[in-house]
Amino acid sequence: MDAIIWENDSLRLLDQTKLPRSIEYIECNDYRTVAEAIKRLAVRGAPAIGAAAAYGLVVGARQIEAADRKTFLEKLEAIAGELGATRPTAVNLRWALDRMMMRLTTAPEQDVQELRRIMLDEAHAIYNEDVQSNRKMGEFGQELLPDGARVLTHCNAGALATAGYGTALGVIRAAHEKGKQISVYADETRPLLQGARLTAWEMVQEGIPVTLITDNMAGYLMAKKMVDCVIVGADRITANGDVANKIGTYGVAVLAKYHNIPFYVAAPLSTIDMGLSSGEEIPIEERDPREVTHHAGQAMAPDGVQVWNPAFDVTPNHLVTAIITEMGIVYPPYIENLAKICGYKK
């Protein structure tokens, strides 16, 4: 199932809030529709929102009335600012928008229509590169999974969270395609149940054995020696290897460490933020309390209760066994090896 579709010169986004009960697409005829879809998690997952924002900028460019390059770029920068403000934690969002703007500012063309064409080409490139990088990640990562491996994953880092194929689930898919007998345990992932609604759905669609558990079952599952490794995605990885991912990931990592279970993170290089030295610097998005107090419109908690609802947590690098990228598998010391694989020089 494609989360992002550019077809007949228009953008459609799969409304993932409706899955798995119904498959509905949002027609995005203006950039604010794209921004709202990102903000309310109709499209979600760091790579996916990066690609969606790139196409959203293309849609926004078509709304701009400007005859000259300077005015066009100024108005486009404001649109990029609105799109970039929708979700602060996932670095791919800002990365994709910055890449789109950089491509335009370095282009010699003065004609606004030509600039719009360049933008669409760049958005297509971001989308296609993500699919390719996911497949490369899968090829590298599947080497870590022995035949018969039982894999625990948290949240959804599959095709729905990317341009296609997936990061953490891409590793599982690749192992399955190699003929390995892989099975999956999917945390339900409160409060919005991305594991129950999305990860389990993807695995069922592909015929990969999957068992759904509630988040608070993970520790007992490990104690019963029913898990061989954990694989998760990431929304941002800092220079020292600290990992921001869906809330609850940190707890799973602590449990994995205690039970001597490998904890792997699968993410493209675009998720690595070499500008931040540690996870303490990552901005953590806090979301609507109703996500915790309500489900499917029904109240599950008393009126007036106070709620804390961070969307992400940070897993410190010492809990991460390895980081799987499209350029290979990175092991500690991350401060050195991430810089090396990213080609980063201080």
Catalytic sites, residue numbers: 235
* Neighbouring-strand partners of residue 144: none
**Residue that the structure tokens 């061989």 belong to:** 228
Q: Going by C-beta distance under 8 Å and a sequence separation of 6 or more, which residues neighbour residue 277?
A: 238, 239, 240
First-last CA distance in the chain: 41
Rounded CA gap, 333 and 205, in Å? Answer: 38
**Helix H segments across the chain?**
31-39, 46-63, 69-84, 91-105, 112-141, 168-177, 194, 200-206, 218-223, 249-258, 290-293, 334-342
Is 225 marked within a binding site?
A: no
Is 200 marked within a binding site?
A: no
Is 110 marked within a binding site?
A: no
Rounded CA gap, 25 and 136, in Å? Answer: 28
* Neighbouring-strand partners of residue 4: 13
Is 194 marked within a binding site?
A: yes
Is 159 marked within a binding site?
A: no
Is 46 marked within a binding site?
A: yes
Is 87 marked within a binding site?
A: yes
Q: Is residue 166 left, alpha or beta, with left meaning phi > 0 and alpha meaning psi from -120 to 50?
A: left
- Residues annotated in the binding site for substrate, as ranges? 44-46, 87, 194, 245-246
Which positions make up the binding site? 44-46, 87, 194, 245-246
